[in-house]
Structure 1
């Protein structure tokens, strides 16, 4: 079975015109098992979105499908795998698919939740922070 023949581990949360789309590498094993992005109770993702003013209140991971209400979206480079970056197969990242999604949905900003995701998507080493690539 090809890597694209099976369904994604977690669905994209994308629609046209979002102000910010967050892209990770792949869901963790806990997130995959729970069927929700950033579902590990020790992960600060949801609290950080609230603390940064992107959400009016912290959401539980199970409410990830509500993010477009707040102008936010989610995706991953590895849609068909889960686990730590060092556990993913070499061909797990689908950069062309990410580029198609971002072109189609045209968010104001694409941000990466990991340096590995940014480097894979941009094809070069990156420093933390805003990138010159558009």
Structure 2
């Protein structure tokens, strides 16, 4: 069921969104920079991260305590007020993540590392274990806090919030996001 104010892209908008990019929601000094795999066509058409109605990113963000209420994708820029941001491992939009090559992920990892070094968020949260493993060359990495750092930035891997990821329930997803939130608040208050 679409949320209030939700706009659905047309077939033509979806078709022309293929291989486009959407702007990052980013600023220096964020507490957490969330990093998706890559934008889907729905997100590309609307120029909004995690825009497909079945995506569980926005509910998990709220249920975990990162946001005071459930934000809509069109409110993504409000995350900056909470010291949160969004980017992607691979910038180009596709219908499915399996359209991306391992080389694209590795190149995306290099670009992401440069972005993190420039903006210096306290935490980088990669939303998708396979994308993290491929982009950074850690084939055995699991969900949660990683030993890997990018400069002073700590790295956390979260499950993919896509509605297609049946391995994670909404409650389980929110619990993983909540662990990151707790870790980010603990380190901020030290």
- Give the alignment of 1:6-25 within 5 angstroms: 9-25=21-37
Q: Which residues in structure 2 correspond to 1:65-84 (within 5 Å)?
A: 65-84=77-96
Segments of 5+ residues of structure 2 without an aligned counterpart are 1-18, 150-190
Q: In the comparison of the two structures, how many residue pairs are matched?
A: 128
> Whose RCO is larger (CA < 8 A, sep 6+)?
1
Match of 1:45 in 2: 57
Cα deviations by residue, 1:56-82 (Å, 9 ceiling, x for unpaired): 111111111221111101110111232
Whole-angstrom distance in 2 between the partners of 1:53 and 1:82: 30
The answer on whether the counterparts of 1:23 and 1:117 sit within 8 Å (CA) in structure 2 is no
Q: Report the equivalent of 1:55.
A: 67
Find the counterpart in structure 1 of residue 158 from structure 2. Answer: none
What is the Cα deviation at residue 120 of structure 1?
2.4
> Of the two, which has the highest radius of gyration?
2
CA drift of 1:96 comes to: 1.5
Divergent runs of 4+, >3 A = none
Q: Whose helix fraction is larger, Structure 1's or Structure 2's?
A: 2
Are 2:151 and 1:100 equivalent residues in the alignment?
A: no
Q: With structure 2 as the length reference, what TM-score do the two structures score?
A: 0.63
